[in-house]
Amino acid sequence: MNIVLTTLNAKYIHTNLAIRCLRAYVEPEHQVEMVEYTIKDPSINIVTDLFKYKPDVIGFSCYIWNIEETIKVIGMLKKIKPELKIMIGGPEVSYDVMYWMERLQDVDYIVIGEGEETFKQLLDQLKSGETDFTNIHGLAYRTEDQKAVVNPQRNKLNLQEAPSPFRFEEDLPHLSKRVTYIETSRGCPFSCQFCLSSIEVGVRYFNKEKVKEDIRFLMKNGAKTIKFVDRTFNISRSYAMEMFQFLIDEHLPGTVFQFEITADIMRPEVIEFLNENAPTGLFRFEIGVQSTNDATNELVMRKQNFQKLTRTVSMVKNGGKIDQHLDLIAGLPEEDYDSFKKTFNDVFELRPEELQLGFLKMLRGTGLRIRAEQHQYVYMDHSPYEILKNNVLSFEEISKIKQVEDVLEKYWNDHRMDYTVEYLVTEVFATPFDFFQEFGLYWDKMGWGRIGHQLEDLFQRLWNFLSFWSEENRSIIHSLMKLDYLRGQKYKPRKPWWDDTLIKEERSELYRKILASPSLLGKAFEELQLSEKDIYKHTVLEMISFDLNHFLQLGEIKEKPSLLLAYFDPKDQQTKLFSTPIKYLEEVNV
């Protein structure tokens, strides 16, 4: 019997943990092939490839991001080989199981919930030719007369005994290029009504020592990005501390570990420990904030203390060692447009390295979907089941928030213009949300969402918007944008996005003055001892309207026409910025 486990990942760099757990669990009794595709692969290519394995059974790991593409593949497979047994599993098909059995007539089996033991029993039985599946808990199947049957759920697995899903030879060459997902626990103690993890009761842990062995093995074989899928990594403080200590002690250079943490339960001592001991960039935290509206959180049974969350995020940020990615969800119960705006501003205030806006998905099996009527939710029939409107948020308002998301990604999360954005959200617009919303509206109106962008386009487009928006502070904003652009370059840019402010003769004269008096640009510049050739080849000169040194030291804008010199050091490919007030240059005679 040839058995294949497969899935369609969202991106090539992702790997699927579920099929590895299943395979590890059924070996050595059953030999299983494992193959992964992406949702971008044409279905026909996937089907052609799968048939190369001459499969008798194919199992698909299903999620909201791949279910519809998976269904297309299954349909083709069954047309070509009707006797092929198709098994599906995963969070997307583990709820409303009868609906899936009725909708997907090509599917023979659904493995419900945690799949290891069910999958093993199913394979044992298929191998032996036994056709009575009534005793396999956690399985949905069809009787000989094609009637769908859903068996009762099964007891949870003893994770302490689970085998390692990371010892497959064929995975090793890819470890350095892809994200490795690892779990040290299953389940979440919280009850957020929009989340599938709230359904399972209790948290179970894998064997700690085996997990550590796995991590050592993964690092030794080149894994660079290791993401813990534990729903709340820090639910047990002692456990999290032990793992943090282990990772700090034994990590190999270049490895990054990502965790989903619950920020408001993180004790200050833990953060102090990390700030003191963790190497910069070793850890990255993902923190779901979702909403700062207490009434909304209460309605979704989400206990969250925003004050404590703020303390954690601020302490981590001040430590400067760990990047943080914060998530928000638009569309939660009773969170209208203004309330969401407040949530956004509350969270943006923390200046997370990344802020992601998601839109509520009415996932099958969640409490919120079951009670959708109460809040008049209207949502997509098919995955990803995103909401279209509810009693307090119209479709137009959701569309507006999507415009915010679009520009937030490009202008904040990518960190190309931090000085500029900081100035805009604090000095020019009433609130950060107002900036992103106004810009997003303009972006959409100009049709820029439908076309690609070079870096220069992004600067030019923001400048276009600002020209349209206001006459105030334009020279400061333009200077900040030039500064952001130049400091983000590794080499001298051939054609910056702005029009030259200096004519050739002026530029030459400035260069002559700098060569004559390099100390004007400061001691560090003088010590570089750049030759005339270096200066012409590797620097850019620009006029800015404020005192750069004062700004870099204190973060304050003091208006003073200045010359900015950006030196693109060919040795370390770092941009070094120097500046001097124009009036000092005027005094130099050459």
Q: CB 192 → ligand SF4: shortest distance, Å? A: 3
* CA neighbor of 479 nearest in space, from 543, 407, 549, 406: 543
Tell me, residue by residue from 100 to 119, as one string, x for binding to ligand SF4 by CB under 6 A and - for no binding: --------------------
* CA neighbor of 313 nearest in space, from 297, 330, 295, 326: 326
Residue 444 to residue 130: CA distance in whole angstroms: 59
Q: Decide whether 193 or 383 has the Cβ nearer to ligand SF4.
A: 193
Q: CB 440 → ligand SF4: shortest distance, Å? A: 26
Q: Decide whether 91 or 115 has the Cβ nearer to ligand SF4.
A: 91
Q: CB 193 → ligand SF4: shortest distance, Å? A: 8
Both structure tokens of 252: 């190999």
Q: Decide whether 288 or 331 has the Cβ nearer to ligand SF4.
A: 288
Q: Decide whether 55 or 187 has the Cβ nearer to ligand SF4.
A: 187
Counting Cβ atoms within 10 Å, is residue 19 exposed (0-12), middle (13-18) or buried (19+)? Answer: buried
Q: Decide whether 78 or 361 has the Cβ nearer to ligand SF4.
A: 361
* CA neighbor of 34 nearest in space, from 13, 9, 3: 3
Residue 405 to residue 46: CA distance in whole angstroms: 33
Q: CB 239 → ligand SF4: shortest distance, Å? A: 16
Q: Decide whether 192 or 563 has the Cβ nearer to ligand SF4.
A: 192
Q: Decide whether 6 or 193 has the Cβ nearer to ligand SF4.
A: 193
* CA neighbor of 379 nearest in space, from 403, 396, 359, 397: 359
Binding residues for ligand SF4 restricted to 29-58, rule: CB under 6 A:
none
Binding residues for ligand SF4 restricted to 269-298, rule: CB under 6 A:
288
Q: CB 300 → ligand SF4: shortest distance, Å? A: 9
Q: CB 290 → ligand SF4: shortest distance, Å? A: 7
Q: CB 218 → ligand SF4: shortest distance, Å? A: 24
Radius of gyration of the chain (CA): 28
Q: Decide whether 198 or 310 has the Cβ nearer to ligand SF4.
A: 198
Q: Decide whether 307 or 589 has the Cβ nearer to ligand SF4.
A: 307
Both structure tokens of 342: 């407040």
Binding residues for ligand SF4 restricted to 392-451, rule: CB under 6 A:
none
Residue type, 528: L
Q: CB 415 → ligand SF4: shortest distance, Å? A: 26
Q: CB 526 → ligand SF4: shortest distance, Å? A: 55
Q: CB 149 → ligand SF4: shortest distance, Å? A: 30
Counting Cβ atoms within 10 Å, is residue 301 exposed (0-12), middle (13-18) or buried (19+)? Answer: middle
Question: What's the count of helices (H) and strands (E) in the chain, helices before strands?
Answer: 22, 20
Q: Decide whether 263 or 540 has the Cβ nearer to ligand SF4.
A: 263
DSSP-derived pairing of the beta strands 57-61 and 85-89: parallel
* Burial per residue of 71-100, b for 16 or more beta-carbon CB atoms within 10 angstroms, e otherwise: bebbebbbeeeeebbbbbbbbbbbbebeeb
Residue 4 to residue 576: CA distance in whole angstroms: 55
Q: What are phi and psi of 450, to 5 degrees?
A: -100, 0
Directed axis angle between helix 455-469 and helix 474-487, to 10°?
170
Tell me, residue by residue from 193 to 212, as one string, x for binding to ligand SF4 by CB under 6 A and - for no binding: --x-xx--------------
Q: Decide whether 43 or 232 has the Cβ nearer to ligand SF4.
A: 232
| 57 DSSP assignment | E
Q: CB 240 → ligand SF4: shortest distance, Å? A: 15
Number of residues that bind ligand SF4 (CB under 6 A): 10
The separation between CA 234 and the C-alpha centre of its own chain, rounded to angstroms, equals 19
Q: Decide whether 304 or 575 has the Cβ nearer to ligand SF4.
A: 304
Q: Decide whether 115 or 288 has the Cβ nearer to ligand SF4.
A: 288
Residue 268, preceding bond cis, omega within 30 degrees?
Answer: no
Neighbour tally for 178: CB within 10 Å? 18
Q: Decide whether 332 or 544 has the Cβ nearer to ligand SF4.
A: 332
Output the CA torsion 375→376→380→384 (10° steps): 0
Q: CB 576 → ligand SF4: shortest distance, Å? A: 44
Q: CB 198 → ligand SF4: shortest distance, Å? A: 4
Residue appearing with tokens 């497979």: 77
Tell me, residue by residue from 213 to 232, as one string, x for binding to ligand SF4 by CB under 6 A and - for no binding: ------------------xx
Q: CB 211 → ligand SF4: shortest distance, Å? A: 19
Tell me, residue by residue from 161 to 200, as one string, x for binding to ligand SF4 by CB under 6 A and - for no binding: ---------------------------x-x-x--x-xx--
Tell me, residue by residue from 235 to 274, as one string, x for binding to ligand SF4 by CB under 6 A and - for no binding: ---------------------------x------------
Residue 172 to residue 438: CA distance in whole angstroms: 48
Both structure tokens of 6: 């497969």
Residue 253, preceding bond cis, omega within 30 degrees?
Answer: no
In sequence order, the 6+-apart residues with CB closer than 8 A to the CB of 131 are 144
Both structure tokens of 578: 């120097």
* Burial per residue of 153-162, b for 16 or more beta-carbon CB atoms within 10 angstroms, e otherwise: ebeebebeeb
Residues that bind ligand SF4 (CB under 6 A): 188, 190, 192, 195, 197-198, 231-232, 262, 288
